Structure 1
Amino acid sequence: MNAEPSIQSKLLDLAAVDAELTRIEHRRKVLPEEQEVRGLEAERTARKDEAVKVEISIDDLDRDTRKLEGEIDAVRKREDRDRGLLTGGSVGAKQLSELQHELTSLERRRKVLEDELIDVMEQREAASAAHDHAGANLDKAQDDLVDAERRRDDAVADLDVAQQRCESDRAALTGLFPADLLAVYDKQRLANGVGAALLQARRCGACRIELDRGEISRIGQTAPNVVVRCPECSAIMVRTKHSGL
């Protein structure tokens, strides 16, 4: 395959553009800003789960409070009834003793329930503080995520601009090459990542392998318009006065 040396040298410009496109694509895949967003999304989910867990605990404590208050109210009503019977003088001695015994048991039961209610109310107060803390953590996680998403979107926008510029440069360059040369270049680039590179100081710029004397001698005897390829990686080697030929 033949191509004018000036055209061959333009392959280096094309290779530089393609290398930049490869770097852009790689950066998209490992974008630190995207990784930060994913980490903060996980943190926000954890904070939300924490807040929901506290809310469920508060609901349970509120239900326990209502239950205890209802039981205490029922015991008090029974106490009031018994006291009414005791002071009414309408019961016999045996029933009077039974009422006194029941009233003592009811007072004991009410105190136990009131102690339980105090404990539940203290838990409810602690849970309320925990809920406020969890809510603050969730708000902070959400704010941090919004900031990270903005930085991610800015980074992606910068990559989009760079990619568009490279694609425009590539479109302008590809029009300079014969179709067969461009086809060989693109096939090599897709296979090994580098389609063309400079032959410098007897070393292929694509695979970085130094060519032996025999190969260098053969290339040196090849006409300038003949396209030569690396015997190791098959990349097109662009020759200049610095090639060591």
Structure 2
Amino acid sequence: MKADPSRQWRLLDLQAIDTRLDQIAHARRTLPQLARLAELEEKAQALDSLLVRAQTELGDIQREVAKAEADVQLVRDRAARDQSRLDSGTGSAKDLQALQHELDSLARRQSELEDVEIEVMERAEDAESAATQLAAQRDVLAAEIAEVTAARDEALKELDAEAVRVGAPRPDIVAGVGEDLVALYEKIRASSGGLGAAPLRQRRCGGCQLELNNVDMSRIKSAPVDELLRCEECRRILVRTAESGL
């Protein structure tokens, strides 16, 4: 392929732009905030699961508390009625004796139920404290996620702005290089790690960084200025410069 020197030199300008755009794209994919957010989101999911379990357990225990309180209240109400009947003195001595016996039984039953109520209420307090602590941790984590998300968005905004600025001259350079040479450049770039064209400086290919031997240097020196050269090692387009060492 033939390409006048100006087109080849502009190809190096295009490569410089594409290299920086690739670097920006890599920076977008590898922002430290992205890794941190992934870590925080994982923690948040685990914390959410713990919080749901804690709240569910608290709800179950609170229902136990309500039942225990209701059981105690039933015994208290029954004892109050029996005490009222006993205090009124209505009934036979046998009936009054039976009431007193029932009151003694109710007192023991009330004591037992109150012990159960206290135990359940203590468990409820512990469960509520655990759920409150987890909720507080979740709030702190949510605040950190919001902070890191804002930092990520700002970093992406800056990178996107730089990409627009760097890529602005690209269409004009592509037009100056020409479709045929750009097509070859893009093909090589796709198969060579993003580097399709490289300068020849001090007898060294700017792509593979290998020094050319005397035979290759002689061949390049004798080649017409508009001949498109390729590195024998990496097959990238090789552009002659004032520092080529020819």
What TM-score range do you get, normalising by the shorter chain?
A: 0.7 to 0.9
Give 1:96 deviation, angstroms: 6.5
Unmatched runs of 5 consecutive residues or more in structure 1: none
Separation in 1 of the partners of 2:5 and 2:234?
21
Separation in 1 of the partners of 2:182 and 2:81?
103
Q: Which whole-Å deviations, capped at 9, do the CAs of 1:119-148 have from their partners, x for residues lacking one?
A: 222222233333332232222222211111
Identity of aligned residues (%): 38
Residue aligning to 2:223: 222
Give 1:57 deviation, angstroms: 2.5
Unmatched runs of 5 consecutive residues or more in structure 2: none
Q: Which whole-Å deviations, capped at 9, do the CAs of 1:167-196 have from their partners, x for residues lacking one?
A: 212112112113221221111112212110
Separation in 2 of the partners of 1:83 and 1:39?
65
Root mean square deviation, CA, Å: 2.3
Residue aligning to 2:15: 15
Per mean C-alpha deviation after superposition, the further-off stretch among 131-140 and 99-108 is: 99-108
- Given that residues 188 and 235 in structure 1 are in contact (C-alpha distance below 8 angstroms), is that contact kept between their aligned partners in structure 2? yes
- Given that residues 33 and 148 in structure 1 are in contact (C-alpha distance below 8 angstroms), is that contact kept between their aligned partners in structure 2? yes
Residue aligning to 2:66: 66
Residue aligning to 1:145: 145
Separation in 1 of the partners of 2:202 and 2:96?
118
Residue aligning to 1:238: 239
Give 1:17 deviation, angstroms: 0.5
Alignment of 1:157-236 (within 5 A): 157-192=157-192, 193-236=194-237
Q: Aligned pair count?
A: 244
Q: Which whole-Å deviations, capped at 9, do the CAs of 1:43-83 have from their partners, x for residues lacking one?
A: 33333333333322222222111100111112223333444
TM-score (norm. length: structure 1): 0.87
Give 1:153 deviation, angstroms: 0.9
Separation in 1 of the partners of 2:190 and 2:134?
51
Give 1:91 deviation, angstroms: 4.8
Separation in 1 of the partners of 2:138 and 2:178?
60
Give 1:200 deviation, angstroms: 2.0
Residue aligning to 1:121: 121
> Do the aligned partners of residues 91 and 183 (structure 1) sit closer, same or farther apart at CA in structure 2, a change above 3 Å counting?
same
Give 1:230 deviation, angstroms: 1.0
- Given that residues 47 and 141 in structure 1 are in contact (C-alpha distance below 8 angstroms), is that contact kept between their aligned partners in structure 2? no
Separation in 2 of the partners of 1:98 and 1:219?
123
Give the secondary structure class of the aligned counterpart of 1:176.
helix
Residue aligning to 2:48: 48
- Given that residues 14 and 173 in structure 1 are in contact (C-alpha distance below 8 angstroms), is that contact kept between their aligned partners in structure 2? yes
Residue aligning to 1:105: 105
Separation in 2 of the partners of 1:179 and 1:49?
57
Give the secondary structure class of the aligned counterpart of 2:21.
helix
Give 1:101 deviation, angstroms: 4.9
Separation in 1 of the partners of 2:116 and 2:204?
85
Q: Which whole-Å deviations, capped at 9, do the CAs of 1:90-117 have from their partners, x for residues lacking one?
A: 3564x76665554443322221211121
Q: Which whole-Å deviations, capped at 9, do the CAs of 1:177-223 have from their partners, x for residues lacking one?
A: 13221221111112212110011232221122233332222222212
- Given that residues 50 and 134 in structure 1 are in contact (C-alpha distance below 8 angstroms), is that contact kept between their aligned partners in structure 2? yes
Separation in 2 of the partners of 1:13 and 1:228?
17
Per mean C-alpha deviation after superposition, the further-off stretch among 77-86 and 182-191 is: 77-86
Give the secondary structure class of the aligned counterpart of 1:175.
helix
